Amino acid sequence: MRLRKFFAAAVMCVTLSGCSQNPHMEYTGNFYAMNTVMTVTAYGADAEEAVKAVSSRITALEKMWSVTDEGSEIFAAGHSGGAAVPISTETASLLAFALDISGKTNGALDPTVYPVLNAWGFTTGENRVPTEDEISKLLQNIGYERVQVERDFIRLEEGMMLDFGAVAKGYAADETTAILAEHGIDSALINLGGNIQLVGSRPDGTDWRIGLKNPLHEGNIGVLSASDCAIVTSGNYERYFVAEDGTIYGHIIDPKSGYPVDNGLLSVTIIAKEGKLCDALSTALFVMGAEKASEFWRENRGFDMILMSEDNELIVTSGIADQFSLSVSQNAPNIKILE
């Protein structure tokens, strides 16, 4: 793996200017779940109760899907010694969705990548570079096509494991939107560790303005004006480690090679109605690289995207181009609009 330039850890940051100042109408809840800080700001009479309901719902999802919690359904499926284990309808449905995207992206998204991810230490925080031999052995336990689901039972071959890390936050954001709607909230900003979901527009009726963090430097590379959609970014700059030789290894793994993705992309942002679709595609298209991601967009549509590459190019799809403005003047990237 070639040496990559060190770039600072960066997460998508949120611009919240121009919000209603009425304290009775606005409630912001911060909580920690799914290994990240989550912030939900809702506007409406029932905002506080709504955000508290969201927090308990996401905690329940985490309990079901944590890869490390011995009580989770995902853990049970990966430690059954090859036996079938019961799963909830909700787990079965998210799994079916993830496997569908795996098929459509030719395995770029693979919810069975966990054994390799674990060897790199991304789950324990004790990062290390596995040997090629170790990786090639572990790759034998990876393959979304081999997951067997029958009604509410799942069977994984011994050695295989599941990980919803690439889709769970997106699903949780969709759930959050539904809970807020049940509480009559029609304006909210949901930020689940960088997975953004916009409910309606800002209380004054204008679009939300979401800053896209520059993966290479402090600050934003640009700002997206949008409402009523999800905006999800994947990149290896979010969670990574630096090996002794200075090589940077990120947390998104190419399931074919077993190595962290290193294809010239810095980040992939997906914009669409549904959070889980954005989440699944941001991870998958990051694995695929700029060329295949562009091809995928042309063939499938139904979403917009912004690809940032190491050679200072931004690929922006035509559906979102008018809503995106650059925030940098120096060393500004070349923007290529994908039609």
Residue 117 contacts which entry, ligand AMP, Mg ion, none (Cβ below 5-8 A, type-dependent): ligand AMP
Residue 165 contacts which entry, ligand AMP, Mg ion, none (Cβ below 5-8 A, type-dependent): ligand AMP
Q: Token match 């896209």: residue?
A: 212
Q: Which stretch binds ligand AMP (CB under 6 A): 6-14, 173-181, 214-222, 275-283?
A: 275-283
- Between 53 and 139, whose beta carbon lies closer to ligand AMP? 139
Residue 125: Cβ within 10 Å count: 8
Q: List the one residue out of 286, 281, 294 whose CA is nearest residue 261.
A: 286
**Three-state DSSP class for residue 329:** coil
Residue 76, both tokens: 């049970």
Instruction: Tell me how far apart the alpha carbons of residues 282 and 233 are, in angstroms, rounded to a whole number.
Output: 6
- Between 50 and 156, whose beta carbon lies closer to ligand AMP? 156
> In the bound complex, what is the minimum distance in angstroms from residue 148's beta carbon to ligand AMP?
18
- Tell which one of 47, 166, 179, 272 touches Mg ion (CB under 5 A): 166
251 binds ligand AMP, rule: CB under 6 A:
yes
Interactions with Mg ion, residue window 275-294 (CB under 5 A): 279, 282-283
113 binds ligand AMP, rule: CB under 6 A:
yes
Strand ranges of the sheet holding 148-150, from the earlier edge strand across to the other edge: 84-86, 153-155, 148-150
Residues forming a β-bridge with 220: 213
267 binds Mg ion, rule: CB under 5 A:
no
109 binds ligand AMP, rule: CB under 6 A:
yes
Element (H, E) at 171: helix 168-182
- 250 and 235 in contact (C-beta within 8 Å)? yes
> In the bound complex, what is the minimum distance in angstroms from residue 30's beta carbon to Mg ion?
22
Would you give the distance in Å from CA 2 to the centre of its chain?
25
- Between 122 and 303, whose beta carbon lies closer to ligand AMP? 122
DSSP code per residue over 250-315: ES-B-TTTSSB--SSEEEEEEEES-HHHHHHHHHHHHHHHHHHHHHHHHHH-SSEEEEEETTSEEE
- Tell which one of 141, 283, 294, 323 touches ligand AMP (CB under 6 A): 283
- Between 47 and 160, whose beta carbon lies closer to ligand AMP? 160
Contacts of 241 (CB under 8 A, 6+ apart): 121, 127, 248, 249
Residue 4 contacts which entry, Mg ion, ligand AMP, none (Cβ below 5-8 A, type-dependent): none
Instruction: Tell me how far apart the alpha carbons of residues 250 and 309 are, in angstroms, rounded to a whole number.
Output: 15
- Tell which one of 41, 282, 317, 323 touches ligand AMP (CB under 6 A): 282
Residue 328, both tokens: 């940098």
Interaction mask 153-172, ligand AMP, x per CB under 6 A = ----------x-xx------
- Between 51 and 285, whose beta carbon lies closer to Mg ion? 285
Q: Which stretch binds ligand AMP (CB under 6 A): 12-20, 42-50, 107-115, 181-189?
A: 107-115
- Tell which one of 111, 203, 258, 333 touches ligand AMP (CB under 6 A): 111
Instruction: Tell me how far apart the alpha carbons of residues 259 and 250 are, in angstroms, rounded to a whole number.
Output: 9
Instruction: Tell me how far apart the alpha carbons of residues 71 and 93 are, in angstroms, rounded to a whole number.
Output: 19
Residues that bind ligand AMP (CB under 6 A): 109-111, 113, 117, 122, 163, 165-166, 234, 251-253, 255, 279, 282-283, 287
Binding site for Mg ion (CB under 5 A): 166, 279, 282-283
